[in-house]
Amino acid sequence: MGEGSSERTTAIACASCVILCSAVLLDYARSSRNSKVASRPREREGEASVPPLPTIKWNANSRSFCQRGALGCVCSQKSLSIRVIQGIFQKSTPFVPKNPLVSKIQGIFLDEDTADIFFTLPSPNPEFQDILEVFPAHLFVLKACAPMLADLYYGSGEFFALPGVGGNLNDYTVIEVTDVEPHIFRHLLFYVYGGSVPEEELKTYAKDIIDAADKYAIINLKLEAEAAYVESAGITMENAVDNLLYADAKNCALLKEAVLDFLAENSVEAAQNISFTDVPGHVINDLLVAFGRSKNNDGSENDADKYSTMRVSELRFMLDEKGLDVDVDVDGPREAMIEALRANS
């Protein structure tokens, strides 16, 4: 922060200015009473105008006050004009750049020269099935942030040099991925390197990202995509069961909760228009919880079962506050989250 100043006339904005002006006014009163200088007559028509008032400078830092003699002409004119220039001084805060680790890691994303793993994915276009899209990666990043992708290094990967990539035989592990589209895999890999998926992409391809992130246990990305899907995809009578079955299969507790809340709020219409034949029996318990939550809005639940009617976001927040493992405790059905909270209470 730097030094700024503002000019004000006949306005006093700080305590030091009040002290200064009080001292000047007192001196002015004394001088006016004791001055032997005759008052100037009023200006007559045709005479020269009265000279402008002098400027009296005072520096608060040096505590230098003006002399009484400097007020002579002011006193003789029976008027006083005070101009206050107020300076605002603020101590500057040192700038320290943030930790560069994330930017450094992102800087080697898709870097062929330092990569030791290459993922190959076939083009989604049937006319170009023979063309492979290649994604260079680093084993140390995958081991830390995506262990299931790292495990592929020790599994079915073949050792050979890729055409068009420098290096000797056995320098690279090439891993073929056939169940994820290239642009989804790129989002997945970039997230592993500390990046993020643009909001619109997250909403547009939410289910594809959930599928890939669930398969390769990139849990935080899965939770982000699930939240984006719940926010953007409206639950209707037509898609309620499909979304419920999908949420149950992928352990998407937030999506399941959204569907069950919809069914609880529209129970009569749902009973008339939806067949629950294909819905697993254990989902009925979640549906009963949704009904109970919709009926119980007075916060009367006791401590023993306070978790049972909590919303999924509340459960996840509490699990995260306790520092529990997101891969094990946060990604799972609400029953598992409740058990983890009770075990760590």
Sequence-distant (6+) residues with CB within 8 A of 209 are 184, 187, 188, 197, 202, 221, 222, 225
- What are the tens digits of pLDDT across the range 204-262? 999 999 999 999 999 999 999 999 999 998 899 999 999 999 999 999 999 999 999 99
| φ, ψ at 147 (rounded to 5°) | -55, -35
State the greatest distance between any 2 C-alpha atoms of the chain, in Å, as a whole number.
111
- What does the DSSP 8-state code read for residue 276? -
Q: Taking each helix axis as running N to C, give the angle between helix 253-265 and helix 219-232, from 0 to 180 degrees, rounded to the nearest 10.
A: 20
**Separation of alpha carbons 283 and 131, rounded Å:** 44
Does the pLDDT of residue 182 top 90, yes or no? yes
**What are the structure tokens assigned to 60, written together?**
């608060």
- What are the tens digits of pLDDT across the range 278-299? 888 888 777 877 777 666 655 4
**What are the structure tokens assigned to 46, written together?**
């045709």
Whether the Cβ atoms of residue 224 and residue 202 lie closer than 8 Å to each other: yes
Average pLDDT over residues 52-79: 54
Mean pLDDT, the chain, integer: 77
User: In this structure, how many other beta carbons lie within 10 angstroms of the beta carbon of residue 221?
Assistant: 24
Cα–chain-centroid distance for residue 319? Answer: 20
> Which helix H or strand E contains 283, and what residues bound it?
helix 282-295
- DSSP letter string over 60-125? TTTTBPPPGGGGHHHHHTT----EEEEEE--PPPPP-PPP-HHHHHHHTTT-TTT-SEEEEEE-SS
Instruction: Tell me the β-bridge partners of 133.
Output: 121
**Separation of alpha carbons 222 and 206, rounded Å:** 9
Percent of the chain predicted with pLDDT > 90:
41
> What integer pLDDT is reported at residue 251 of this predicted model?
93
**Separation of alpha carbons 223 and 227, rounded Å:** 6
Nearest Cα to Cα of residue 210 among 256, 174, 241? 256
pTM of the complete model:
0.68
Whether the Cβ atoms of residue 254 and residue 330 lie closer than 8 Å to each other: no
Highest mean pLDDT among 93-107, 165-179, 329-343: 93-107
Whether the Cβ atoms of residue 251 and residue 333 lie closer than 8 Å to each other: yes
6-15, 17-26, 165-174, 242-251: least confident range: 6-15
Nearest Cα to Cα of residue 314 among 286, 334, 300? 334
In which band, very low, low, confident or very high, does the pLDDT at 11 lie, cut at 50, 70 and 90? very low
179-183, 212-216, 321-325: least confident range: 321-325
Does the pLDDT of residue 89 top 70, yes or no? no
Does the pLDDT of residue 166 top 50, yes or no? no
- What are the tens digits of pLDDT across the range 109-137? 999 999 999 999 998 887 777 789 999 99
First to last CA, the chain: 47
Does the pLDDT of residue 20 top 60, yes or no? no
Nearest Cα to Cα of residue 16 among 61, 80, 66, 82? 61
> What integer pLDDT is reported at residue 207 of this predicted model?
97
